[in-house]
Every structure is written in structure tokens, then in C-alpha cells.
Chain A
Amino acid sequence: MSSATEQAKKEVMRRIRRSRSPKKVIKTFFHYVFLTVVTAIFFAPIAYMLIGSLKPTAEVLDGINGFVPKNLSFNNYLQVFATFNDESMGFLWRFYTNSILVSFVIVFGGLIVNSMIAYALARLRWRGRDAVQVLVILLVILPFEAIAIPLFFLLRDFRNTYFVQFLPFIASAFSIYLFYTFFIGLPLEIQESARIDGAGPWRIYRAIIIPMSKPVFASVTILSFLGAWSSFLFPLMMVDNPLYVPLPLEIQVYFTQPPTDWGPIFAFGVILVLPVMAVFLLFQRWFIQSVAASAIKG
């Protein structure tokens, strides 16, 4: 008996020793080295932009010296502020508010419209429901590029407005699909008992479904925001008045106009991305969960 305990003790000790063995330490060390190297490669372009935005244009394009933080100043930022400060070039704050306004309406309007139809598809019985269900599933695979050209043709008389930038993007088959799969998975009991207590579908949707569905609302918010904030192709075709241009399009316009001043272009890039980066760093758990949720069964 005692030899058995002895044996067990030995086994445990052996395992402990093995877990701290030099082999394991070396493995962990290389694990970190690998992650650090890959991180450095990933971060290099971003670091290049950050450093370049603070350097004189002449020193940005200089091989690997572009990474050397030297002669730093905020001059590029001041130049960006000074450039975009009249009717012909547009106003920097205005590009911002354009992007924010359009993204906000797409995200917020989309949450309401798409969650409502998803609830009706998941929990209510109505004439035509099955057909709409099939339609939504068919539309999920249709990327925006598939309708960009005819939309441009149909809406060309409404160029340089706000509503043309957000109205086509509020309803989204993909968002409906995300809401739908989440609502289907919610337990029925609470909804049934609320119904017995006399609550109608509207009340159940507002008072039970929405509070229980915060994760999917967060996911759809983040995914549709990323899409709306980055949108390029449609504004490219629909907007050329600097008063209505969103940020991602304006940086391309700025990049295309001679002379190509790299310092200020990078400063513009930092101005464009900094708020989104800040939001991302604050809510990164949500960002990462949203992306993971977008993959729930193909």
C-alpha cells in the first residue's frame, strides 16, 4: 500500500519536474519570440504611419530610416487643419461629421429595422413569412458590389446628398440573419408566459427580446459600423462635393491631388483612424466577440 502511494507521489513529482523542464522553458521562450516578431511585422505599417505623420515630408520616404523618430513636430497636423478649412477643399470637421452621421444612421436604423423583421421571422406567424425567409437567405450571399452599378444608375440624380449614402445600407440581409439565429435560440418559456399574461408581440419584442439580446445587438452594431465607416466604392461614385464627402473617400482624394505630401497625408490617416482605434481598444473584447459571432455556422 505504502509503495503504491510512493509510486503515485513519484509520478506527481515527475510531472511537476517535467512541466518546468528546460525544454518547456525554451518552448515558451520561442513562443514569445515568435509572437513578438509577428507583432512587429503587423505593427510596422501602423508605426510607420504614426512616425511619418510627425516628420517632415522629405524624411518620411527614406528607406528604413522612416522608422527613426527624428525632427518630430505637429506641423503636418497643422497643415491638414489649414488645408481643409474652406469651401473648395472642404472642412476637416465636416468630413468627420459626414462619416459619423452616415454611419450612425446606418447602424442605428439598421438595429431597429433588421431586428424587427428578424423577430417577426423567428417568432411570429404571418402570411408570406416563409417566402421572406427564403428571400433573406438568398440575399445574404449577395455582396454590395453586385448592386453598386445599378444603384449608381438609379440614384444618379441624388448625388451629393446624405440620404443616398445611408438609405441603401440600413436594411441588411446579413444583419437580419444574425438577429434571426440569435432570436431562434432564445428560450421560449418567458415569451410564452408573457403572452399568457396578455402581452402582445410588440411588448414582448421591446420588454423581453431586446433586453435578452444585448450580445447580438452589440455584434451587429460593431460589424455594421466597421462596414459603414470604411465605405469607399459607393461614396466614390455618388459624392464629389467636399461638403458631403466621408473620411475614407477624402483621404483618397487628398492622396491623389498633387503635390503628394506624405507627412500631411499620414497625419490625415492618423486623424481618420485614431477615434476608431480608441473605441476598438476600449471595447476590444466586444469587437473580437462580434467577429467570432459573424461566423456562427455558414
Chain B
Amino acid sequence: MAKAKKSKFGQDNLVGVLMSLPGLILLTLFVIVPFITAIYLSFFNVDFNMVQGPQFWGLEQYRRILVDPITSPIFYKALMNNMTFALIVVPAQTGLAVLLAVMLNAKLKGIAFFRTFFFMPVVFPMSLVAIIWALMFSRDSMGMLNGLLNLFSFGYIQPIDWLGDPNIALLSIALLSIWAGVGFQMVIVLAGLQEIPAELYEAASLDRANFWQRFWNVTVPGLRNTLIFVIIITTIFSLRLFDQVFILTKGGPIDATQTVMYQAVTSAFIEGNVGRASAITVIFVLIIIAITLLQRLVLRQNREVK
């Protein structure tokens, strides 16, 4: 009794700590320690190819990545590509997800059947998606996509070099990413749609609102939180872009599909330059934190306006 009073945490203290311990140890060992290691290594010149050990470099890695006129352009190119990719994928994929969800949110026979097909690519590993699309993207008239374009344009559209043309390669990567990811978003939006009270639609119908008026005045405001969530995860997904690029284009042609993660992984894994890769990792995390904070801020302002 007296013992229990001494600790303000009471009898649960030991059990609470014990139950958290496995998760806490694993998170520490495999998330926190590695991340701190990344920060630490980013201040060193660590190279697997070097005979001598790590040298302290201070901010030299960051200077080379962000400031140096010879070595920094490739990083900015990669960052720009990530941003461009986000600017294509976020609106296109979100818009498509909303369109599909609205079409599926109808009381029609066989809706579940269609939903199954839209969602199906989600269970495909990205490496397999990339390989299927490698063949869809074959560049001459033998390619599937070129064949389809040729058929539907009655021979007007000439074969496109989907992955070899620096102006198109990133767009092609975006296309397959949207195919692979839109089903996931659609399901989230569909769940958001079903949260909107039916009375709002009935009221709008009584006011003789047409489809677009209902869409803009009932559906979109009702989906606000869902859309913000979807936009945040798709933006972060755009920054993580790696698998598709590694399999299909290796960052090319002429760096048109370089990405931040592709730089980090090739620096460490192929060039053995762990110091540079770690510094890129730290910058990557700072960007993600900045985006999250920015979106939180926008979210809060919107709430205050309401």
C-alpha cells in the first residue's frame, strides 16, 4: 500500500515498461540508431573504396551536395525531378482517385466487381509493375502502348520513345506509378465519401442542385480531410521514388529521371560513398519534415478560417 503510493505510476509501471520494451528496443536499434548514424556519417568522408579510415569532414559533404558548382547541379536536378514528379502525380492521381470513387459510390449492380479491378494493381510489387510496363513502353511500333496509340489515332501518332526520350521518361515513370497507386487512394476517398451524411445530398437535390453543384458544394468540402491526408502521403511517396527508376531507367536518359533516393542509394551502394549518401539522407528527412510541418500549418489555418 505504502509502496504503491510512493510511485505515482502505481502497479502498472512494471508491466507497462515490459510490454513496451520489445517494440522500443527494435525501434531504437533499427530506426533511431541508424538515423543518428546517418547524421554522424554525414560529417565524415566514409568511402568503401578508400584504404584509410573515415576522415572528419565537417560540412564538406553538404557543401558538395548543395553549394559546389561542379557537384551540386546533379542533386538539384534530382530534387527538381522529384518535385516535377510530385506536381504530375499528386493532382493526376488524386483527381483520378476522386473521379473513380465518385463513380463507384453509386447504387448500381456490379459496383464491387469494378472496384476489384481498380484496386488490383495495389497487390503487385513495384518491381513487377515496372517490368510489365517496361514492355508496355517498348519504343518502336512493336511496343504495346505505341500500338494502342497508333490504333486509336488511326496511325496519326508516331511511336514514342517512352523511356529513352529525356522529355518523356519522367512522365512515363509517373504514368506507371499512377496506375499502381491510384487504387489505394480511391479506396481511401471512397471511405471518405461514405462518411458524408446522405441528408446533405438530399437537401441539395431538393434545392435542385445539379451534379456539379452537388460535387463542388457537398462532396469536395466533405472530403476535405481525406484529400489532405491523400495529398500528404502522395507527396511523400513522390519524394521516395526509387524502385521504378532503378529498374527502368537507372536515372537516365541524361539524368532525366534522377531522384534524391536514387542518388543516395547509388552513392552508397554502387560508388561506396557512404558519407555523401548519409548527407543526402539527412537532407531528404529535413525536406519531409518541412513538407509535413507546412501541410500541418495549412491545415490549422483552414480550421481557424472555418
User: Which A residues have a C-beta under 8 Å from some C-beta of B?
Assistant: 28, 31-32, 34-36, 38-39, 42-43, 45-46, 48-49, 52, 60-66, 112-114, 116-117, 119-121, 124-129, 132, 135-136, 139, 141-143, 145-154, 167-171, 173, 176, 200-202, 205, 226, 229-230, 232-233, 236-237, 247-249, 251-252, 255, 262, 265-266, 269, 272-273, 276-277, 280-281, 284, 287-288, 291-292, 294-295, 297-298
Contact = CB atoms under 8 A, between A and B. Distances in A.
A229 B125 contact: yes
Contacts, number: 280
Given A143-B288, A147-B35, A232-B127, A38 B26 contact: no
Contact of B19 (A60, A62, A120, A230): A120
A162 to B, nearest CB: 15
Interface in B1-33: 9-10, 12-17, 19-20, 22-24, 26-27, 30-33
B19 A201 contact: yes
A259 to B, nearest CB: 15
A39 B106 CA distance: 16
A42 B135 CA distance: 16
Nearest to A153: B274
Given A120-B16, A153-B41, 16 more contacts: A45-B136, A46-B132, A63-B150, A117-B19, A143-B240, A146-B38, A149-B274, A150-B38, A167-B30, A171-B24, A230-B124, A237-B268, A249-B127, A266-B132, A273-B125, A292-B190
Contacts of B284: 145-146
Top 7 nearest A-B pairs (CB, nearest first) are A126-B16, A63-B147, A171-B26, A292-B191, A117-B23, A230-B125, A298-B229
A146 B150 contact: no
Residue picked from B27, B41, B128, B261, most chain A C-beta under 10 Å: B128
A146 B179 contact: no
Given A149-B281, A154-B33, A291 B229 contact: no
Interface string B123-152: 111111011111110100111101110110
A129 B12 CA distance: 11
Given A143-B236, A171-B23, A288-B119, A201 B142 contact: no
A42 B121 contact: yes
A255 B128 CA distance: 10
Interface string B279-300: 0110011001100100000000
Contacts of B132: 45-46, 48-49, 266, 269
A136 B20 CA distance: 12
Interface in B248-304: 261, 264-265, 268-269, 274, 277-278, 280-281, 284-285, 288-289, 292
Contacts of A48: 132, 135-136, 144
B147 A146 contact: no
B114 interface: yes
B228 interface: yes
B120 interface: yes
Contacts of A147: 30-31, 34-35, 38, 281
12 contacts: A61-B143, A141-B288, A153-B274, A153-B278, A176-B23, A201-B19, A230-B126, A232-B125, A252-B130, A277-B123, A284-B116, A298-B228
B242 interface: yes
B141 A150 contact: no
Interface in B82-130: 100, 103-104, 106, 108, 114-128, 130
A226 B184 CA distance: 12
Contacts of B150: 63
Contacts of B143: 61, 63
Nearest to B33: A154
B13 A116 contact: no
A142 B188 CA distance: 21
B187 interface: yes
A91 B118 CA distance: 33
Contacts of B130: 252
Contacts of B128: 248, 251, 269, 272-273
B225 interface: yes
A269 B121 CA distance: 13
Residue picked from B20, B33, B100, B268, most chain A C-beta under 10 Å: B20
